[in-house]
Chains A and B, each alone.
Chain A
Amino acid sequence: MLKIDNLHVKLEEEDKQILKGLSLEVPAGQVHAVMGPNGSGKSTLSYVLAGRDGYAVTEGSATMDGESLLDMEPEQRAAAGLFLAFQYPVEIPGVGNMTFLRTAVNAQRKARGEEEMSSGEFLKAVREKAKDLQIDAEMLKRPVNVGFSGGEKKRNEILQMAMLAPRMCIMDETDSGLDVDAMRLVSDGVNALRGPDRSFLVITHYQRLLNHIQPDVVHIMSDGRIVKSGGPELALQVEEEGYGDLLAEAG
């Protein structure tokens, strides 16, 4: 599904190298976690994959089903099935959450040459999915993320994910700012979306999210590279020992 090979990325403005030869591969249907200390380049990885401005790829490649992501506009990546759940979801005053969702769903459908969703169909789908995430009608009407609590914002990201039905989901520190209950809701939402055709790249600081969303593979990231990969036990090791020993061991 997603294949990143020897990716080198620097900040456009500062001439600062962030990713220094990162490689990883997420096969279809698998959940991979990326863990790493602050400043290891985790968020940069998610932004570069989604196509945010301000980063220059100096070497390497990132492909989804063999197609180069790096040549696509952000909206093309979205239409191709890539989704990024933001660490800090953006507020858009005056634009109803529902309108935003519908515009997004239909923009993607149109880009793929599919028929647009009718109002009726759309409403039905949203209500169903919102219910699972305990998002009420009131929250659907409010302007996108404006005045939402931390937990509401993250649940809203998962609602978007559910509505857009992407094949490759990247979650950037979705657990940050969540209390225990919200974490469970979000995890349940994600687990419900797991399937043989959908893959996840879960970027996180802490192991606790991975108690709820069981990863197939855990990657440890440091200084712009994956330094170690392993099974779920790797996350537990981080939890117990911290990154220090692991990183020293990786050299």
Chain B
Amino acid sequence: MTETTDLDVREGVDRETVETVQSMGSYKHGWNTEIEMDYAPKGVNEDIVRLISNKNGEPAWMTEWRLEAFRRWATMSEPRWAMLNYPEIDYQDQYYYARPKSMEVKPQSLDDVDPKLLATYEKLGIPLKEQMILAGVEGADAAPAEGRKVAVDAVFDSVSLGTTFKDELAKAGVIFCSISEAIREHPELVKKYLGSVVPQSDNFFATLNSAVFSDGSFVYVPPGVRCPMELSTYFRINAENTGQFERTLIIADKGSYVSYLEGCTAPQRDTTQLHAAVVEIVVLEDAEVKYSTVQNWYPGDENGKGGIYNFVTKRADCREARAKVMWTQVETGSAITWKYPSCILRGDESQGEFYSIAIANNWQQADTGTKMIHLGKNTRSRIVSKGISAGQAQNTYRGLVSMHPRATNSRNYTQCDSLLIGDRCGAHTVPYIEVKNTSSRVEHEATTSKVDDDQLFYCRSRGMDEEEAVALVVNGFCRDVLQALPMEFAMEAQALVAISLEGSVG
């Protein structure tokens, strides 16, 4: 992570960003690690569902829960209402479970760890101590930590490799572990909350995920606890033809606070890969959750070959009074993005915020936005969406703001800006607004603009090259959202904005 001053993060792109761009090439996470993998046979059926459940050592109730979801999924059909155009997905031509072989036996020190796995962590920028812990080295928790404190959970293909800072978190009463561990160790919490925000039957992709999710992260913050550090999960798809189906469950108990960061990368492949995750967040009375994502799945090459198909269901339930949730997302990757992180504002005076930057370049297609469902009185929501399209990409903002009859005196403010680079891309805005009481107020502002030649010439006449100029202008456009990100992510996001737009001009 690059060091920089406050000023740069707040005000736009800086030199380091541009250097990073130059040194990185167009997709920096495009490497793949050759690690021996254990695969379940291709395709999905009840046996595969049982096998996944069995591999994770799950109790019978969980297996049943999955099977129920699978049976339902088998009767459902894929939604096609989004403004996305992609060939038919053959769900039987995917692997639903892959696991690095070396993880079968716990290593004793870093020397025993598959060096390729370690190299993977290095490239992801995970600090050494955290690497040790992630690699499952026994006693690694006792080693001194360097630098920043972020607890990391890494999910490599389908398996969570381990979680850092567990002891320190445990002292505060925070549970941060893989979901499979939570199913085994904290069944009462999982039983109570799993599927309570995104039910098994929610939608085609969420239902598939409910049947075959292999791993993911689990967070529980007890009443009144402010989580002592940021929690972070790195997701990486490595194996070929493998779908990734993580499941994340976060519970913020009364009066607690947690900030959670999620990063995603995948290698460059000619074939497309499926990713269908579910994130559920439960926010109880007076609690607050911040969930930030930098999604950088492989977007496919400049001719639209390969890339991740990303169908994600993310939802937060502000279940009790004064609960607060804030989604911030920077979506730069994936060939196809279908994603609407939502807030159910059930508790009175609860608040939901959604800040989004979605960049689509080359042949990428993104259909993304949010849903703010106001159920409680005096609830507030705020949506700031910045869509950037370049190349031949299509970028759609799709959002719903719904004020229910009981949600009196509620407010929503939506700002939805689109920026076009070049003349072959498209930006679309599809806001749905439903107001069923007379005391609530909904505001929607939308703009569409082009990066204009005058701005670029002005920057270049001052000495910046064309890509630097585009990065500066686009970072300015995204400023409101970048400011909502945690500091470390803001830097990464700025760099990503620049990288994603490489080759979009000239």
Contacts and interface: CB of A to CB of B under 8 A. Distances in A.
A99 B473 contact: no
A100 B461 contact: no
Interface of A: 50-53, 73-75, 77-79, 83-84, 86, 89-96, 98-100, 102-108, 110-111, 116, 119, 141, 143, 160, 164
Given A52-B457, A103-B12, A95 B476 contact: yes
Nearest to A93: B476
5 contacts: A75-B463, A92-B472, A103-B468, A108-B463, A143-B476
Contacts of B466: 75
A90 B472 contact: no
A143 to B, nearest CB: 7
Given A74-B461, A141-B11, 9 more contacts: A74-B457, A91-B455, A95-B479, A100-B462, A104-B459, A107-B465, A107-B468, A108-B462, A164-B462
Contacts of A92: 455, 458-459, 472-473, 476
A119 B15 CA distance: 12
Contact of B475 (A50, A90, A95): A95
A202 to B, nearest CB: 17
Contacts of A106: 15
A111 B8 CA distance: 21
B7 A98 contact: yes
Interface SS majority for chain A: helix
Nearest to B465: A75
B12 A100 contact: yes
Contacts of B461: 50-52, 74-75, 77-78, 83-84, 86
B14 A75 contact: no
Interface string B176-207: 00000000000000000000000000000000
B129 interface: no
Given A99-B7, A143-B476, A90 B454 contact: yes
The 3 closest A-B pairs by CB, nearest first: A94-B476, A96-B11, A95-B476
Contact of B465 (A51, A73, A94, A96): A73
Contacts of A51: 460-461
B453 A53 contact: yes
Contact of A103 (B13, B477, B479): B13
Interface string B4-37: 0101101111110000000000000000000000
Given A92-B455, A95-B475, A164 B12 contact: no
Given A94-B477, A95-B12, A96-B12, A103 B460 contact: no
Contacts of A108: 462-463
Interface string B128-146: 0000000000000000000
Interface of B: 5, 7-8, 10-15, 453-455, 457-466, 468, 472-473, 475-480
Contacts of A53: 453, 457
B464 A75 contact: yes
Contacts of B12: 94-96, 99-100, 103
Contact of A119 (B5, B453, B455, B473): B5
Contacts of A111: 463
Query: Of B464, B466, B475, which is in contact with the most chain A CB atoms at under 10 Å from its CB?
Result: B464
A143 B10 CA distance: 11
Contacts, number: 106
A145 to B, nearest CB: 9
Contacts of B478: 94
A160 B458 CA distance: 12
A77 B468 CA distance: 16
Greatest chain A CB density within 10 A among B5, B457, B462, B464 is at B462
Nearest to A163: B462
B262 to A, nearest CB: 25
B506 to A, nearest CB: 10
Contacts of B462: 78, 100, 104, 107-108, 160, 164
Nearest to B13: A103
Nearest to B449: A93
A78 to B, nearest CB: 4
A103 B458 contact: no
A102 B14 contact: yes
A164 B461 CA distance: 11
A110 B464 CA distance: 10
B355 to A, nearest CB: 14
B421 to A, nearest CB: 15
B463 A104 contact: yes
Contacts of B453: 53
A96 B464 CA distance: 16
Contacts of B479: 94-95
Nearest to B464: A107
B11 A95 contact: yes
A106 B13 CA distance: 12
B15 A99 contact: no
Contacts of A102: 14
Contacts of B457: 50, 52-53, 74, 90
A90 B455 contact: yes
Contacts of A89: 458
Contacts of B7: 96, 98-99, 119
A251 B479 CA distance: 56
A50 B456 CA distance: 13
A2 to B, nearest CB: 16
Nearest to A145: B458
Contact of B11 (A50, A77, A99): A99
Given A90-B455, A92-B473, A94-B477, A104 B464 contact: yes
A86 B13 CA distance: 23
